[in-house]
Amino acid sequence: MARTRWLKLSTMKLTWQCLFSPRLYKIYKDGPSESMYQAKGFEKWGDRVISSASTILNIGLYTSPFICMYIYKRGFFSIDECKGLARFFGGVGCILAISFIMRGLGRASNPKYVAFMKALTNTTADHTTYLSNIRNYDFEFRAWPVTYAVPPKLKSSWLQGHPFNNCANVELPMYQRTFIQVLAYVATHTFALRLIYPGSLGLIHTLFWDALFQGRAHLVESYDGKRSKLKTAEGNFLDTMFIDNRKLSTKGNTLVVCCEGNSGFYEIGIMTTPVKAGYSALGWNHPGFAGSTGLPYPEQEKNAIDAVMQFAINELKFEPEDIIMFGWSIGGYTAAWAAVNYPVKALVLDATFDDLLPLAENQMPSSWSLLVKEVVRSYVDLNVAELLSEYEGPIQLVRRTEDEIICIRPGLLSSNRGNHLLLRLLEVRHPEALTASNDSVVAVNRYIGLLESQRAALARSDISNTDRTSLLLISKYMRDYKSTHCTPLPENVFDSIVHNITNNRN
């Protein structure tokens, strides 16, 4: 009798835990690599109702202004209509409550889900064993335990960091300047940041969900990837993936920290390039991307990459001198920031621009120029060239010859903003070569817009010493790769770049 009562209480407790427990997506090494965890019976139907309700709610939030206008015009704010709406929402609430109960009962009766719950809640095991057990599963990232936390920073008061401290249009009269600042604040916090970082949109995450799931499963099952959750200094949580190749090759002793683009995720991004080349790799998702929380404002981005670097050094036990920063596109900003603030081995920037402002102005109507300038300079000032001026270590720039994203004029190589990034680098590192005469400046500007093959042909011809020096400087820091912006960099090209910059330190 006592045993029966204990079993009932245990079942009730398990069912209660399963009411709001995380959704399980996959049990690794349980069936084909592409297979997912299959919910059955009550769990399946409860999940469908809850997922449908969540989707409708998200759509409703985005369209809430139009819905409220419609309700107001139809007179639904009268007492009788409000009673009807209350009954409707009360009915929906009852259906959702029943769905949660059904899902909890279904999960509690599924041995595979029960085993997952035991692994997730068994926090009495030592930390290494606990992480090893839960890494056998893929589930909602919100429920992942924090693997590594950076000590929190003291937050400045609003008055110290309020948005109107800076102004990009100081030449305007006060009333115009104030209006532009207010407009820029509203624009940045509604749509502008999401235009710059489309990957932070929930819609993009929904559209990419299957690809992200399959990519993550591939990293875990093919390369023994280890997922971790980091907590940044401001309290955001980062979704990361580490692949350790230290036992497989000598190149594995070098860690490549991968910084993705504005719609890039580690699951389907640049991470596999260094892994296939034999290096260890650490990928992470920007704040607001996939499982990571927050939003990709520059300060949050810097805190994010700082947490990633501290995790790599303190938890994964890589020395900074054995870390290569690999940034693609807008990820060049965080990669360059880390290279400036940590004594890393090298910095590789692929398809990266010098400054966000020219690209933003090129995409927006000219009548918006003042607003665009205020938004970028005051809130999203991703000036990679300025960061590079502080970096003194080995570096290689990769320019895509058919880049359609960071070229001001598509198809025109001389308008690629990577050229300006190189120019800034040469101005800082070789001022004597560029200021010796006007001829050297003219030569660099003339040759930087040429293809690498064209410059190589010129170098073999009879040219002046000034021209030859210019060609050598360009080829020293920049390499061409024939492709569009989003084509993955082949592992042999990446391996060649790393070999060159680490053996011929520039």
- What are the pLDDT digits (tens) for 143-183? 999 999 999 987 766 555 556 677 878 788 888 888 999 99
Q: The whole model's pTM is what?
A: 0.89
Q: Which helix (H) or strand (E) holds 44?
A: helix 41-62
4: CB partners within 8 A, 6+ apart: none
**326 beta partners:** 258, 348
Report if residue 11 sits inside a domain: yes
Report if residue 281 sits inside a domain: no
What would the mean pLDDT of 264-293 be, rounded to a whole number?
96
Report if residue 436 sits inside a domain: no
For the stretch 320-367, pLDDT in tens is: 999 999 999 999 999 999 999 999 999 999 999 999 999 999 999 999
Report if residue 29 sits inside a domain: yes
The CA-atom distances, in angstroms, between 454 and each of 404, 450, 464, 481 are 21, 6, 16, 13
- pLDDT, position 202: 83
Report if residue 199 sits inside a domain: no
Runs of H (alpha helix) within 312-416: 332-341, 356-363, 369-379, 384-388
Report if residue 260 sits inside a domain: no
pLDDT more than 70, % of the chain: 89
- pLDDT, position 249: 87
Runs of H (alpha helix) within 122-258: 127-134, 158-161, 174-187, 193-196, 202-207, 209-223
Both structure tokens of 284: 């992470």
Report if residue 16 sits inside a domain: yes
Instruction: For residue 101, give its domain range.
Output: 2-145
Query: Using an 8 Å Cβ cutoff, are 28 and 224 in contact?
Result: no
User: For residue 465, how many other CB atoms are within 10 A of its CB?
Assistant: 9
- pLDDT, position 21: 85
Q: Between 95 and 215, where is the model more confident?
A: 215
Report if residue 472 sits inside a domain: no
- Rounded CA gap, 232 and 257, in Å? 17
Number of domains in the chain: 1
222: CB partners within 8 A, 6+ apart: none
- Rounded CA gap, 359 and 332, in Å? 15
- For the ranges 89-103, 401-415, 431-445, the maximum mean pLDDT occurs at 401-415
| CA-based radius of gyration for the chain | 27
**What is the sign of the dihedral through the CA atoms of 289, 293, 296 and 301?**
negative
For the stretch 8-49, pLDDT in tens is: 445 667 777 777 889 999 999 877 766 788 887 777 877 788
